[in-house]
Structure formats: structure tokens, C-alpha cells
Structure 1
Amino acid sequence: MSNSKPFKLENSYVSMEDIYIANQKLQGVIKKTELIESPVFSSECGNRVFIKPENLQMTGAFKIRGAYNKLSKLNELEKSRGVIASSAGNHAQGIGYAAQLLGVKATVVMPATTPIIKVEATKNYGAEVVLYGDSYDEAYKKARELEAEHNYVFVHPFDDLDVIIGQGTVALDILNDLEDVDEILVPIGGGGLASGVAFVAKMLKPSIKVIGVEPDGACCIKESLAQGKVTELEKVDTIADGAAVKRPGTLTFEFIREFVDEIITVSDFDIAEAILLLIEKHKLITEGAGALSLAGLKKLQSKGKKVVCLVSGGNIDILTISAIINKALVFRGRLFCFTVNLPDKPGELLHVAKILSDSNANVIKLDHNQSKVMDSFKQVQLEVTVETNGHCHVEEIESAFQKHGIEIQKIY
């Protein structure tokens, strides 16, 4: 049963009519990202899991929805002033693309640590990019300075009602595709996406459970809810750079406190593992923040439910994704690296190779080094990296060496 009653905020209110108007504006601007059922993630958590792939959106993330809705509501005078935004990447591209479509000059301040792919993509949409600071919060302060200096219109990445309304259209898509959805997992950085999605979900179907997922190293919403007020973290540290926010918005805190049922947090290892599985099983690329909802599946208490995981973005550079994949492979027991000291005589390397072959381990790297065994001239150290099928397989290999009286030292 739907609820059409507007939600009253401190200085405004929002209704489903606002969401429907925004959704109409976005037709022809955004892609329709249809739900993808996932057998692998379903089996991982015991629920029927569907992926909402906003990483396939026009700008590689959901942010285009809120950015376009905001810019489309500016009057001619505001448009002539130009807009400015601060962003870790995806809001920047959303602003750039929306500004290009609407003929508005855009400037975006991004942290100096922002992946090159996001910086270049933003420039390609015609936006002027200013790199400043090491975090989103430092970039935000710089953008506010430039706003005052040049009389720009500031477009907040999450703490803006028109932006939140635009993001809420994601939930309309979800309910159109899967009317009987039980739970929606949504990533949280500053909270704009979670605010919009939770509001729409609860208005249209109050029985839906909305769960926000934050990184362990940047859980500003969880901390704020615990304190009962908007609270700033001392520091953030996570591979989910798009969710590395110290302080949530005042608006988003109101929305989340009212409409989100639960907040869970996940580790960087959980995030890396989710990225790996999404690539391997669905051939989809996601960034760290985009994978938060999938990483959160293991924390669910429910079983047998229809669960939608919102994959919010896929803008990640190749070097970062390579490092994440390697760590995820280790985490899942798919890579095993060890050293072994051997007598410096013919046949020893062949002996090691035979043990590995009998254990069905695929050698992918081998380093034979005489100088690493400093206390003996008669031994060499062998460093071996093998491809494995999981933690049980790693244990089998370790046991095989023990049976042959060979001591190995695990590196990872």
C-alpha cells in the first residue's frame, strides 16, 4: 500500500509528485539499466539477488540523475552565472554531462587523489576541473571559496533536495522491474542516493526493507545515527573513494533517519571480493563504492528474500582495479605465494614442481634466489606463486609439502 503524504523537512517538503516530475525529465537523458538476476551472489547469501547496474549509466554512475534534475530547475539568471561542484568523481561527471546538455558553464573541484579516469572523463564533458586537497572535504571547502569569488551556483553532491529527488528515480526503476522486492541494499557515501531511494521505496511500498551499506573506514552515517546528530569523522580510509565522506549532509541525515531501516558496514576485503565476483561472473566493472551493496550481502540476516543490490558506479582506473583483483584473489584463496629453502643441487626444483603438479596447482611465478639464504652457501630460496581453487586447496598444498618433509613459509 503506497503512501502519498509529503515528507516535511526543516525548510521544505518532498512528495512523490516531485519524483515523478524528475523521472519524466530524465527520459531520454539516462539509460534504462534493467535488473540482472545473479545466481552467484544469490548462493553467497541465501537470498534471490538482483543487481541494479547503474555502473552502465551514461556517465558510468547514478549521479547523472540528481545532477540533471538540479540543473534543469535553474532559472536563466542562475544558468548564466554557471555552476560549481565538489566531487570525488561521479558527481563531477554527472554535472559535466548535465551542464553540457543544458548549455551551462560548469566548474568542478576534485581531490588531487582522484583517479585519472574520472578527471579526464569530467574534462571531456566540457567542465573545468580544479584539483585540490587529499579528500572530498578539502575539495568541498575550495569549491565554496570559488563559489563566493565568482558568484557560481553551488551544486552539492548529496545534501540538496533536487539532487536527492533525482537519485530517488532509481527506486522507481527497481519497483517497475520487480514489484515484489523485499529488500534494497544501497551504498552510502554522503547519503544522497540512500535518501532518495529509501524515500521512494517507503512511499510506494512501506514493507520494503532499505539497508544502507557503508565502508568500515568511512561510516559517517552510522556514527551520526549513533550520536543522534550529524557527526564528522576524524578521518576516512577506504578503497571505496566515492564513499570516502567524513560528514554526511543535514538533509540526508533527516531522510536516512526516517526511511532507512538498517546500516551495515563492510571491510575493504569484502569490497574487493565483491568487485572480483562481479567481474568474473557478470563481466561487469564496478568501483569500490559501487560494490558496497554486493559486499553487504554476507551481513544480511534474512534468507529466501528478493534482494536488489544497487551497483552505483563503475568509474575505476585500470591500475586500481588490477591491485584490487589481486588482493581479492588472495582473500578468496585463489592465489598462494610461499617460499621454500632448498639444497643447492640438481633435481630439487623438479621435486617441488612434482608436488605442485600432483596437487593441481598452476605455477604462475617462480623466483630462484641464492643470495636470500644468508646463513648458508649450500641453500637457495625459492619463491613460488601458484593459482589455486580456494582455501581448502591451499591447505592441501601445504599438507603435500609437509608429507614430503619440506617446510614452506606462506607469504600470502
Structure 2
Amino acid sequence: MITLEMIQEAQEALHGISRKTPLDHAPKIGENVYIKAENLQLTGAFKLRGAYNKIRSLSPEEAAKGVIACSAGNHAQGIALSATKLGIKSIICMPAGAPISKVEATKGYGAEVVLVPGVYDDAAKEAERLVQEKGYTFAHPFNDPYVIAGQGTIGLEILEQLPEVDQVVVPIGGGGLISGIALAVKSLKPSCKVIGVQAASVASMYTSRRKGKVTTVSDGDTIADGIHVLTPGELTFELCQKYVDEIVTVSEDEIAAAILALMESQKTVAEGAGATPVAAVMFGKVDTTVRKTVCVVSGGNVDVTTLSRILTKGLSKSGRITEISTKIIDKPGSLIQLLQIVSETGANIMKINHAREDKHSDVGACIVSMVLETRNVEHVHEIENALTSKGYFLLSQ
């Protein structure tokens, strides 16, 4: 079983290996909100802590055979860097759909990468097969006492950096991060709440908690690839049941909006998984009105090739861009009249399409679709009201 002493020993072992990441006030997200920036950790995510603590625990015989892990990317990089530092061979099984940036970074830290079709669970099965075939030591990304203890050092740092903290909000995939943090926090400050956050499309720990047993959920799409886990661990489930106060879920649009907010207000880049605690706070899933709240931004290894799409989704969710379509009479001056109304609202037209032949259009009418740059959700409603008050019928997208 994992103890506070194991976490404290891990903190000593990680001295000079991992960074003590900053904990900064984030008043633009919430007056009582603080960010624990594990996206600024070495390798770009918290996983280095647990990975190094696991690998340092290997016996000489285990180290000689090499270590194998499965990961969507962040645990992979932590294991690769830790093994290389300790002179141990590492093999990482990664889902074939893992971001290219994470695959290349893992190789760069010295690991041999095996890409496996499917999701994390498929990569885990291949890693287990190789353990039997080659005799490698398996470093589980979350369901391992040494890994959990390493992640728990974040909880110790939070209490050192903000002793008056009232609640800590943490992403959950398999549960290793929140298990370690919750054990550390609850052991030293039982009054502090610990709240977990999952992507709604793959909420395995949330579902397991509701059913009272470890449950495998159906696969779903999520930009939070770091917490794309269909089955939580037995050990982490037990620890969550004991130490975690609540688990909430967030949508893909909410995650994207949180990534955007962190970039604009905190000048920091978070990956989807790392942004989930901020999403929970921004969209009212976690009450921060009277509680000093730390959001653990667990990683920042977002693939730049997908970042623009994520930001566009975030802009849309926060009302910073919107698309409006309506019918107008097909005669000279009609388009100018429409654009004049939009102009008076202060919106900026980014893109416009004027189509005579459309499945929605009548003879003598056409469809105008506009992508507008707007201030916020209230501004979008103001534009819609201005158009409908002038007799324009807005078409659903």
C-alpha cells in the first residue's frame, strides 16, 4: 500500500531530477484560482516524477533486462528520460494515433518506440505480451505504487506553496496523478477538497465511481489524449474512493475554451488533459467563490498541427467567433442592408458566402453565411437579436 512516507521519500529522490513547478495566481480565470504549472515540468508533463521514482526502484537484475511502458506520450517521455539518465534500456508501446510530437520526443529521450494500432488499452496489451516474451520490467503509467508516490510529490509542493489552499482540482485518466496528490493532501490537510476531472467522452473513473467498481467504458474521441483511458486501475480506483471528494466531467468545447483561456490569461500552453481542471472551473463544474482553488495543469505537450483547430473550437465556445446564416431577397442592395446591420453591432466579418443555389433557398432568395469575429457570447446574442428584429430568419448550422 502507498503511504505518505513513500511520497516524502520520492520527493527526496526527485531533488535535482524534476522541477518544483510554479504555482501562480490566475485572477482572470477566477479570483480564488491558482495554477500549478506541471506543463513547465521537464518533458512537458508531470509524468517524469512517477516515472523516475519507479525506475530508481528497480533491482539490478530488473535494470539489466530493461524497462517497458505503454503511454499516449507523457509517461513515455518520463520513462525514456529517466531510464536514459540511469543507463537502462527502455521500450515504449504507444497508440498509433499518439501525437507525432510526443512520439518523436520519446525517441529523442532515448527510448525504442513501438506504435500499436488502437488506443492506450491496446498499447498496454502489447506491452504485456513483450514482458512475457522478453522479460522486461513493466512500468505501469498509473496503477503502480512507486508511480503514484512520485506523482504525489505535486501534492506536497502545493501545500508548501499555498498552505491556505481549500481545494485541488486534478485531471483523471487512469488515476495515478490524482491518487498520489489526494493521498498527500488528505494526509496533511484533511479539510482540503480534492476534485477530479475527466473528459465526458471517456469518463472511466467517473463511471466506475458511480457503479462502485472498476468499469471499462466505450471508446470516444477527445482532444485530451493524455487522459484517454478506458479502464482505470484497481489500485487507483481504491485510492480515489478513499481520498477523492468528487469527480466531474467536461466537454470537448469546454476543454478547448480552457486551452484558449490559459494561453491568453496565463501566457501558457496546456494540452487537452492539462486544461480539464481549468475547464471545470470556467464552466461552473467546480465552485471557487469562497475556496482557494489550485488547478493542476498536468502537461503542455500539445501537437502544434492540431493546436489551431483546438483554438478555433475554443474561440467558438467562448463566443469569440460565430457563424450566422440567413436568407435575403435576391435583389440589388439586399446584401448591403444585411452587412450594415452586422457592422452596427461591432462584429468583424472574417468570411462570407453568398449562394443562390442552396437546399434552404427559395426562388428569388439566396443564403448568406458569415463567419464573424465577436467579443463574447453576449455579443453573439446581440447580433442575432439585431438581425431577427429586422425580420431576418436565422438558419441553424
Q: 1:270 to 1:374 in 2, by over 3 A?
A: closer
Partner of 1:267: 251
Q: 1:339 to 1:262 in 2, by over 3 A?
A: closer
Given the alignment, which residue of 279, 298, 318 partners 1:312? 298
C-alpha displacement at 1:159, in angstroms?
A: 0.5
C-alpha displacement at 1:375, in angstroms?
A: 6.3
SS of the residue corresponding to residue 41 of structure 1 reads coil
Task: Map Cα deviations across residues 33-85 of structure 1 (whole Å, 9 max, x no partner).
Answer: 11110112215xxxx11100101111111000000111111122211111110
Q: 1:49 to 1:376 in 2, by over 3 A?
A: closer
Task: Map Cα deviations across residues 356-391 of structure 1 (whole Å, 9 max, x no partner).
Answer: 211101111122334437866754432211111222
Structure 1 residue 283 corresponds to structure 2 residue 249? no
Given the alignment, which residue of 220, 237, 241 partners 2:225? 241
Give me the TM-score of the superposition, normalised by structure 2: 0.94
CA distance in 2: counterparts of 1:280 and 1:362, whole angstroms: 20
CA distance in 2: counterparts of 1:313 and 1:97, whole angstroms: 16
Given the alignment, which residue of 6, 10, 15 partners 1:27? 15
Q: 1:373 to 1:249 in 2, by over 3 A?
A: closer
Q: 1:17 to 1:364 in 2, by over 3 A?
A: same
Partner of 1:322: 308
CA distance in 1: counterparts of 2:303 and 2:217, whole angstroms: 27
Given the alignment, which residue of 289, 301, 317 partners 1:331? 317
Is the 2:202–2:218 contact (alpha carbons within 8 Å) kept by the matching residues of 1? no
Q: 1:404 to 1:226 in 2, by over 3 A?
A: closer
> What code does the residue aligned with 1:245 have?
V
Structure 1 residue 118 corresponds to structure 2 residue 118? no
Task: Map Cα deviations across residues 108-152 of structure 1 (whole Å, 9 max, x no partner).
Answer: 111111111111111111111111122100110011111111111
CA distance in 2: counterparts of 1:264 and 1:391, whole angstroms: 24
SS of the residue corresponding to residue 40 of structure 1 reads coil
Tell me which moved more, 256-265 or 64-73. 256-265
CA distance in 1: counterparts of 2:387 and 2:186, whole angstroms: 57
Is the 1:337–1:410 contact (alpha carbons within 8 Å) kept by the matching residues of 2? no
CA distance in 1: counterparts of 2:136 and 2:319, whole angstroms: 51
Given the alignment, which residue of 223, 226, 230 partners 2:214? 230
CA distance in 2: counterparts of 1:397 and 1:226, whole angstroms: 42
SS of the residue corresponding to residue 76 of structure 2 reads helix
Partner of 2:201: 217
Tell me which moved more, 371-380 or 123-132. 371-380
Give me the TM-score of the superposition, normalised by structure 1: 0.91
Partner of 2:175: 191
C-alpha displacement at 1:307, in angstroms?
A: 0.7
Tell me which moved more, 380-389 or 84-93. 380-389
Is the 2:39–2:274 contact (alpha carbons within 8 Å) kept by the matching residues of 1? yes
C-alpha displacement at 1:397, in angstroms?
A: 1.5
CA distance in 2: counterparts of 1:251 and 1:375, whole angstroms: 59
Q: 1:340 to 1:219 in 2, by over 3 A?
A: closer
Structure 1 residue 387 corresponds to structure 2 residue 373? yes
Task: Map Cα deviations across residues 211-256 of structure 1 (whole Å, 9 max, x no partner).
Answer: 1112222222222223332222233443221111111111111211
Is the 1:343–1:378 contact (alpha carbons within 8 Å) kept by the matching residues of 2? yes
Partner of 1:55: 39
> What code does the residue aligned with 2:309 have?
A
Structure 1 residue 358 corresponds to structure 2 residue 316? no
Partner of 2:83: 99
- In structure 1, the gaps of 5 or more residues are 1-8
Task: Map Cα deviations across residues 141-186 of structure 1 (whole Å, 9 max, x no partner).
Answer: 0111111111111100000101011000001111110011111111
Q: 1:366 to 1:70 in 2, by over 3 A?
A: same
CA distance in 1: counterparts of 2:358 and 2:215, whole angstroms: 51
> What code does the residue aligned with 1:193 have?
L
Overall identity of the aligned pairs, in %: 47
SS of the residue corresponding to residue 378 of structure 2 reads helix
C-alpha displacement at 1:204, in angstroms?
A: 1.3
Tell me which moved more, 51-60 or 240-249. 240-249
Coordinate RMSD, CA, aligned: 1.9
CA distance in 2: counterparts of 1:216 and 1:102, whole angstroms: 38
SS of the residue corresponding to residue 129 of structure 2 reads helix
> What code does the residue aligned with 2:17 have?
V
